[in-house]
Amino acid sequence: MSSQLEHKVDVELPAAPVTVAQRPVVRWVMLAVGLVVTLALPWFVYPPVAMDIAAWALFAISVDLLLGYTGLLSFGHAAFWGTSAYTTGLIASNLGLPFPVAILGGAIVAMLLAVPIGYLSVKRTGIYFAMVTLAFAQMVYFIANQWRSVTGGENGLQGIPKNLGPLTDTINADSFYFYYAALPIILLGVFIAWRTVNSPFGRVLVAIRDNPARARALGYDVERYKIMAFVLSAGLAGLAGGVFSISHGFASLQELIWTTSGKVVLITVLGGIGTLWGAVVGAALVVTLEDQLASSGFNGIGIVTGAIFVVIVLAFRHGIWGTARNGLNAWLRKRRHARDV
């Protein structure tokens, strides 16, 4: 079945244009630089803020996988981020398991939740899909608010432990060490997303995004592929939400509220949809800006971030990373053309 899928995709789908970002040398250089920056981040940024940047970056990547590569705008991804945050907290607090196991459990529960939501949502497209996902997320928020005996209601889950065997005391004593303990989980999620978009499955998703009618005519079950992408996206959001709750030591209704879904969409669009790297850039910009404004005592954080969002959307049509990438590609094409002439 897998070989048939690869053959169908290679034969029947149009090949993507080759850009500088797809060249092996440039790609590996970018990966190396990105890894170095990631490893050095807590040396230059307050470690809890660095952890927030990493978690929100993975959360935005999960949204970009759905929006940029499948063409589905979800306003309900807070349901998976928040559900995993609560599940991770409950597993870590009640069972005393190491936090990587608790985070994995939270991600699995988020994926299970995404199956019925995705099945009912993918039958709609465009703004209707966005509204359906938002409605389901609000239902999850209402359930969490009412189920106080489990979730703690408005108080949330407090004192979520950072259990990691003999390293527990070390990572609890200094958030600097926790960053490096949790970073492999974030990198695993990023690798899964990267591997997905660079696989035959990812090419089918792009084909569905560009022309679902043609993809359906070629024999692909469009709804099934959308559900698979939705569940995978929810799993990545769950990994991010679990890391976030362990890092902060609590899970609250704030993780499930609709503004959290709006924030991650904002981050994705700011960086540039359909790029993956853009999610990282957007997360770094938004989280750092919010931290600086909060530290200064400024109360109108939403006004500033909203104004910046408007400016970037007007000035950078394809987001920060997308516009920079397209500009570099155009410059290299001009140089190549001038050299050939």
Domain positions in the chain are 2-340
Residue 304 Cα to chain centre, angstroms? 23
pLDDT at 140: 93
**CB–CB of 100/322 below 8 Å?**
no
What is the C-alpha separation between 332 and 295, in angstroms, rounded?
42
pLDDT at 80: 95
What is the C-alpha separation between 170 and 189, in angstroms, rounded?
25
pTM for this entry: 0.87
The amino acid at 323: T
Q: What residues in the chain have per-residue pLDDT under 70? A: 1-24, 26, 298, 300-301, 327, 332, 340-341
Using alpha carbons only, how large is the chain's radius of gyration in Å?
20
pLDDT at 23: 56
What is the C-alpha separation between 59 and 78, in angstroms, rounded?
9
The amino acid at 204: V
Show Cβ contacts of residue 162 under 8 Å, excluding neighbours closer than 6 positions: 92, 99, 168, 171, 172, 178, 181, 246, 249
What is the C-alpha separation between 97 and 92, in angstroms, rounded?
5
Q: What is 2-340's CATH number? A: 1.10.3470
* 151-182 exposure pattern, b = at least 16 Cβ within 10 A, e = fewer: bbeeebbeebbbbbeeeeeebeeebbbbbebb
Token pair, residue 335, equals 């140089």
